Chain A
Amino acid sequence: DSGVTQTPKHLITATGQRVTLRCSPRSGDLSVYWYQQSLDQGLQFLIQYYNGEERAKGNILERFSAQQFPDLHSELNLSSLELGDSALYFCASSVGVVPTYEQYFGPGTRLTVT
């Protein structure tokens, strides 16, 4: 158990809908990262937050948004969902702003868009 929790574990929804994925980092970790893993695109970095502030942005679509709350948990919001958004979404956390040491991954949320 990495200490990073993600909910829900599985999510099935229809095209056009909006969903929210939640991540709680390991105790003491200030950085949260979101990744998307799909068969088409492979593994992609979406976004990083550090202590509530956006730190780095990867290939995150405009339909997607994220935030990190004062208690350091983070949410990834996906809207106007398309079939191609079906993927495994990982959250990870690390202590510092730069992941030079351990990054701890959550179990992932499997999103299926039908």
Chain B
Amino acid sequence: AQKITQTQPGMFVQEKEAVTLDCTYDTSDPSYGLFWYKQPSSGEMIFLIYQGSYDQQNATEGRYSLNFQKARKSANLVISASQLGDSAMYFCAMRENRDDKIIFGKGTRLHILP
């Protein structure tokens, strides 16, 4: 069974609009971490944001925030005021603390339109 599901293979969004990229996960480990990464067309991987399963507040990093809904096992990435440079592939990932493995979703390709 897939542990990380990103249901949007591709998205087109107008510049300056907010974007929500969906991610749901499946785990029985009560202690885990959730990550988002960005991969532009140039190929490099960029770490964006982290949320721990016991964190009370949603993680934020600049224009990025993670909408963590633990009961729904959802960890959506929200990008506020999107920019052309946000066009990239975005990966959601989870690390279960019982074995420290990191599991990735298949990614969402985001296109920001001028």
Contacts and interface: CB of A to CB of B under 8 A. Distances in A.
Contacts of B104: 42-45
Given A43-B91, A92-B45, A105-B45, A98 B101 contact: no
Given A92-B45, A98-B33, A107-B44, A57 B101 contact: yes
Interface in B40-69: 43-47, 50, 52
Given A45-B101, A48-B100, A55-B100, A105 B33 contact: no
A99 B44 contact: no
Contacts of B50: 99-101
Contact of A103 (B47, B52, B100): B47
Interface string A52-72: 000111100000000000000
Interface string A63-107: 000000000000000000000000010101000001111111101
Residue among B33, B99, B100, B103 having the largest count of chain A Cβ atoms under 10 Å:
B100
Nearest to A100: B50
B106 A58 contact: no
Given A48-B100, A90-B45, A108-B44, A43 B35 contact: no
Contacts of B107: 42-43
Interface residues of B, number: 21
Nearest to B46: A105
Nearest to A33: B102
A38 to B, nearest CB: 12
B43 A108 contact: yes
Contacts of A104: 47
Contact of A88 (B35, B43, B93): B43
B111 interface: no
Nearest to B97: A98
Given A43-B93, A99-B102, 11 more contacts: A33-B102, A42-B106, A45-B103, A48-B100, A56-B102, A57-B101, A58-B102, A98-B95, A99-B35, A103-B35, A105-B45
Interface of A: 2, 33, 35, 42-45, 48, 55-58, 88, 90, 92, 98-105, 107-108
